[in-house]
Amino acid sequence: MSATLTDQANAVRSTDTEPSYGWRFIRRELPDGTVEWDQVPLTYEDVLHPEEGDQVTHSSIHQRRWHYLREVFERQVADDPSAVVLDDVRIEWDVPDLRPHGPDLMVIFGVRERKNWSTFRVAEEGVRPALIVEITSPETRGHDVMTKVDHYELAGVPLYVIVDAIERRGRPGVRLIGYTLTPEGYRVLAPDDQGRLWLAPVRVWLGVHDGEIICYDDSGRPLGDHLALVRALQAEEQARREAEARAVAEEQARREAEARAIEAETRATAEQRARLAAEARVRELEEALRRTQQHP
């Protein structure tokens, strides 16, 4: 969700708490009639059922996958004037007691008029998404792989696909999960012999290659700027590893510096003690000599 504050005279106050999932602005009118906006952290439940204007944080990897899929889907439906690909748009269902969601990507056909939607209202538009794609984040993964499966089935979404960001042997990767709607409810979408899922609404095979998503047309030709996505993600992974290596090296250097400082302090203390002992011994000898001279 994206927030637009048009009244520039309003003051915005931020809470001291850093949000875990994002934030929203809450309007507050003061007794003197002025208006302030409080920045309030989003809860886990808020991310599942967002309000217009919510700011949900995403990693750069999440955003790149999101943009790649949006680019491919938009190209695939470009010839259909009634088709729209929506991202970062809230959807209000026509199902009683089912609260709105904010899917990563929706592909919708049969739209009568294109609008600048902040919320797509199914009852008002008369159509619902043919395809929803969610890209998981570690903090909110449970919503996508569990809760939304039940919710999107109840909403009558024909095809729900999850790009599940996982980690194998300490390295980031991806697995694909798909659900297709049947009269009995959702059933798992079976992959082909290459592990790809057929996304019929956009005529795309969605697969994983070298740990990253890639789209293919029905003849097996890669779609979109997949190489740019892979290169960008590889560069980010390399930067992450280099940052980790620098952090390890800096920590090692810090520990070595501390060890040297402790060693130097210990040596200085030992030298001081030895000097004091020597000075005390000299004083003892001088005193003994003095007594000898006084009493030969």
Tell me what pLDDT residue 18 has.
Answer: 43
Quote the DSSP letter at residue 146: I
Judged by DSSP in three states, 223 sits in strand
Protein fold of 58-224: tt1808, chain A (3.90.1570)
Judged by DSSP in three states, 236 sits in helix
Residue boundaries of the structural domains of the chain: 1-57, 58-224
Instruction: Please name which of 187, 201, 222 lies closest in space to residue 131, comparing C-alpha atoms.
Output: 201
- Least reliable range by pLDDT among 19-33, 101-115, 153-167, 190-204: 19-33
Tell me how far apart the alpha carbons of residues 220 and 212 are, in angstroms, rounded to a whole number. 16
Long-range contacts from 29-37, C-beta under 8 angstroms, 24+ separation: 35/7, 35/10, 35/11, 36/10, 36/11, 36/12, 37/5, 37/10, 37/11, 37/12, 37/13
Quote the DSSP letter at residue 219: T
- pLDDT exceeds 60 at position 3: no
pLDDT in tens, 57-94: 888 889 999 999 999 999 999 999 999 999 989 999 99
What b/e sequence results for 256-282 when a residue is b if at least 16 CB atoms lie within 10 Å of its CB, and e otherwise? Answer: eeeeeeeeeeeeeeeeeeeeeeeeeee
Tell me what pLDDT residue 283 has.
Answer: 81
Tell me what pLDDT residue 110 has.
Answer: 98
- Least reliable range by pLDDT among 64-73, 142-151, 241-250, 264-273: 241-250
Instruction: Please name which of 210, 203, 152 lies closest in space to residue 177, comparing C-alpha atoms.
Output: 152
Q: Quick one: CA torsion of 185, 152, 75, 193, rounded to 10 degrees? A: -40
pLDDT in tens, 11-36: 333 334 444 788 888 888 888 888 88
Q: Place 225 in a pLDDT band, splitting at 50, 70 and 90.
A: confident
User: What end-to-end distance do the CA atoms of the chain give, in Å?
Assistant: 102
Q: How high is the mean pLDDT of the chain?
A: 85
> One-letter amino acid identity for 206?
L
Residue 265 vs residue 203, higher pLDDT: 203
DSSP codes of every residue in 66-83: HHHHHHHHHHHTTT-TT-
Instruction: Please name which of 77, 88, 62, 61 lies closest in space to residue 223, comparing C-alpha atoms.
Output: 77
